[in-house]
Amino acid sequence: MASPPAYERYQKLALIGSGGMAEVFLGVQLGDEAFHQLVVIKRIRPDFLGQAQAQRMFVDEARTVAKLSHPNIVRIHDLRALDDGLCIAMEYVDGESLSALLRVLAQRGERLPCPIACRLMVQACDALHAAHTAVDSQGLPLGLVHRDVSPNNLMLDRSGFLKVIDFGI
Protein backbone atom coordinates (compact mmCIF):
# COMPACT_ATOMS: atom_id res chain seq x y z
CA MET A 1 0.00 0.00 0.00
CA ALA A 2 1.41 3.41 -0.96
CA SER A 3 1.90 6.21 1.54
CA PRO A 4 -0.85 8.83 1.61
CA PRO A 5 -0.05 12.01 -0.35
CA ALA A 6 1.62 14.68 1.80
CA TYR A 7 -1.54 16.75 2.05
CA GLU A 8 -3.45 13.71 3.31
CA ARG A 9 -0.94 12.62 5.96
CA TYR A 10 -2.48 14.89 8.57
CA GLN A 11 -6.10 15.61 9.34
CA LYS A 12 -7.28 18.26 11.75
CA LEU A 13 -9.92 16.95 14.16
CA ALA A 14 -10.71 19.85 16.50
CA LEU A 15 -9.47 23.31 17.41
CA ILE A 16 -7.88 23.15 20.88
CA GLY A 17 -6.36 26.61 21.17
CA SER A 18 -5.58 29.88 19.48
CA GLY A 19 -2.92 32.46 20.18
CA GLY A 20 -1.78 35.74 18.77
CA MET A 21 -0.47 34.32 15.49
CA ALA A 22 -1.26 30.61 15.45
CA GLU A 23 -4.05 28.09 15.91
CA VAL A 24 -3.59 24.66 17.47
CA PHE A 25 -5.62 21.59 16.52
CA LEU A 26 -5.88 18.05 17.73
CA GLY A 27 -5.10 16.00 14.66
CA VAL A 28 -4.23 12.59 13.38
CA GLN A 29 -1.22 11.47 11.38
CA LEU A 30 -2.18 8.84 8.82
CA GLY A 31 0.24 6.21 7.58
CA ASP A 32 0.36 2.94 5.73
CA GLU A 33 -1.65 -0.12 6.74
CA ALA A 34 -4.29 1.93 8.59
CA PHE A 35 -1.65 3.31 10.97
CA HIS A 36 -2.73 6.46 12.73
CA GLN A 37 -1.41 8.49 15.62
CA LEU A 38 -2.75 11.52 17.45
CA VAL A 39 -0.71 14.67 16.93
CA VAL A 40 -1.02 18.37 17.56
CA ILE A 41 -1.14 20.49 14.42
CA LYS A 42 -0.13 24.11 14.74
CA ARG A 43 -0.78 26.50 11.86
CA ILE A 44 -0.44 30.20 11.25
CA ARG A 45 -3.78 31.93 11.66
CA PRO A 46 -5.35 32.67 8.26
CA ASP A 47 -5.08 36.45 8.77
CA PHE A 48 -1.25 36.10 8.96
CA LEU A 49 -0.81 33.84 5.91
CA GLY A 50 0.36 36.63 3.60
CA GLN A 51 2.95 37.99 6.03
CA ALA A 52 6.46 36.84 5.19
CA GLN A 53 7.81 37.60 8.68
CA ALA A 54 5.13 35.43 10.33
CA GLN A 55 5.90 32.58 7.92
CA ARG A 56 9.64 32.93 8.62
CA MET A 57 9.08 32.88 12.40
CA PHE A 58 6.87 29.81 12.06
CA VAL A 59 9.45 27.89 10.03
CA ASP A 60 12.21 28.99 12.43
CA GLU A 61 10.19 27.65 15.37
CA ALA A 62 9.78 24.25 13.72
CA ARG A 63 13.44 23.99 12.70
CA THR A 64 14.69 25.15 16.07
CA VAL A 65 12.55 22.93 18.27
CA ALA A 66 13.16 19.95 15.97
CA LYS A 67 16.85 20.20 16.90
CA LEU A 68 16.03 19.67 20.58
CA SER A 69 15.96 16.16 21.95
CA HIS A 70 14.85 16.08 25.57
CA PRO A 71 12.15 14.02 27.28
CA ASN A 72 10.56 17.17 28.76
CA ILE A 73 10.31 19.07 25.45
CA VAL A 74 7.49 18.25 23.05
CA ARG A 75 8.84 16.66 19.85
CA ILE A 76 8.31 18.14 16.40
CA HIS A 77 7.37 15.48 13.84
CA ASP A 78 7.01 17.48 10.66
CA LEU A 79 6.67 20.84 8.92
CA ARG A 80 4.31 20.74 5.95
CA ALA A 81 2.48 22.95 3.56
CA LEU A 82 -1.17 21.91 3.69
CA ASP A 83 -4.15 23.34 1.86
CA ASP A 84 -4.57 26.06 4.46
CA GLY A 85 -0.92 27.05 4.89
CA LEU A 86 2.16 25.87 6.75
CA CYS A 87 1.56 23.45 9.60
CA ILE A 88 3.78 21.99 12.29
CA ALA A 89 2.89 18.46 13.40
CA MET A 90 4.09 17.72 16.90
CA GLU A 91 3.81 15.25 19.71
CA TYR A 92 0.39 15.02 21.33
CA VAL A 93 0.51 15.12 25.13
CA ASP A 94 -2.47 13.22 26.55
CA GLY A 95 -3.21 15.40 29.55
CA GLU A 96 -3.74 18.99 30.64
CA SER A 97 -1.72 22.14 31.06
CA LEU A 98 -0.38 23.05 34.48
CA SER A 99 -2.65 26.08 34.22
CA ALA A 100 -5.75 23.87 33.93
CA LEU A 101 -4.64 21.76 36.90
CA LEU A 102 -4.02 24.84 39.04
CA ARG A 103 -7.47 26.20 38.11
CA VAL A 104 -9.17 22.98 39.23
CA LEU A 105 -7.24 22.95 42.48
CA ALA A 106 -8.13 26.61 43.15
CA GLN A 107 -11.83 25.87 42.57
CA ARG A 108 -11.58 23.16 45.22
CA GLY A 109 -9.75 25.49 47.60
CA GLU A 110 -6.63 23.34 47.32
CA ARG A 111 -3.03 23.94 46.33
CA LEU A 112 -0.54 21.86 44.44
CA PRO A 113 1.41 19.90 47.08
CA CYS A 114 4.96 21.21 47.44
CA PRO A 115 6.71 17.90 46.56
CA ILE A 116 4.71 17.67 43.32
CA ALA A 117 5.30 21.34 42.47
CA CYS A 118 9.04 20.87 43.04
CA ARG A 119 9.14 17.74 40.86
CA LEU A 120 7.34 19.57 38.04
CA MET A 121 9.62 22.60 38.26
CA VAL A 122 12.72 20.38 38.15
CA GLN A 123 11.38 18.84 34.93
CA ALA A 124 10.64 22.29 33.47
CA CYS A 125 14.10 23.54 34.44
CA ASP A 126 15.73 20.44 32.92
CA ALA A 127 13.93 21.12 29.64
CA LEU A 128 14.79 24.82 29.61
CA HIS A 129 18.42 24.08 30.48
CA ALA A 130 18.58 21.65 27.55
CA ALA A 131 17.17 24.33 25.25
CA HIS A 132 19.49 27.05 26.55
CA THR A 133 22.60 24.88 26.23
CA ALA A 134 21.71 23.27 22.87
CA VAL A 135 24.35 23.43 20.16
CA ASP A 136 24.26 22.94 16.41
CA SER A 137 26.12 20.25 14.45
CA GLN A 138 29.31 22.33 14.64
CA GLY A 139 29.08 22.76 18.41
CA LEU A 140 27.97 26.39 18.23
CA PRO A 141 25.28 27.53 20.68
CA LEU A 142 21.78 27.77 19.22
CA GLY A 143 20.98 30.62 21.61
CA LEU A 144 17.46 29.39 22.36
CA VAL A 145 15.21 31.23 24.78
CA HIS A 146 11.61 30.12 25.37
CA ARG A 147 10.11 33.63 25.77
CA ASP A 148 6.79 32.44 27.22
CA VAL A 149 7.36 30.06 30.13
CA SER A 150 4.00 29.92 31.89
CA PRO A 151 1.63 27.30 33.31
CA ASN A 152 -0.20 27.40 29.95
CA ASN A 153 2.94 26.14 28.19
CA LEU A 154 3.72 23.34 30.64
CA MET A 155 1.75 20.22 29.76
CA LEU A 156 1.27 17.29 32.13
CA ASP A 157 0.53 13.86 30.76
CA ARG A 158 -1.76 11.45 32.61
CA SER A 159 1.18 10.12 34.67
CA GLY A 160 2.24 13.62 35.75
CA PHE A 161 5.23 13.87 33.39
CA LEU A 162 5.85 17.45 32.24
CA LYS A 163 6.48 18.64 28.67
CA VAL A 164 7.41 22.20 27.72
CA ILE A 165 5.52 23.42 24.65
CA ASP A 166 5.31 26.49 22.40
CA PHE A 167 8.81 27.83 21.82
CA GLY A 168 7.69 30.11 19.03
CA ILE A 169 4.84 32.17 17.69
pLDDT (tens digit per residue) in 88-100: 999 999 999 999 9
Give the end of a domain, one of 44, 70, 91. 91
Domain region containing 31 = 6-91
**The pLDDT value given to residue 130:** 97
**The pLDDT value given to residue 169:** 53
Structural domain contains residue 169: no
- Are both 58 and 13 inside the same structural domain? yes
- Are both 122 and 86 inside the same structural domain? no
Check: pTM over 0.75? Answer yes or no: yes
Query: 106-151: per-residue pLDDT in tens?
Result: 999 999 999 999 999 999 999 999 999 999 889 999 888 898 999 9
> Which has more pLDDT, 54 or 96?
96
Structural domain contains residue 42: yes
Q: Do 161 and 123 contact (CB within 8 A), yes or no?
A: yes
**Cβ burial, residue 45 (10 Å; 0-12/13-18/19+):** middle
**Number of domains, the chain:** 2
- Are both 56 and 112 inside the same structural domain? no
- Which entry of 136, 148, 157, 166 is annotated as an active-site residue? 148
Structural domain contains residue 153: yes
Q: Quick check: is 136 catalytic?
A: no
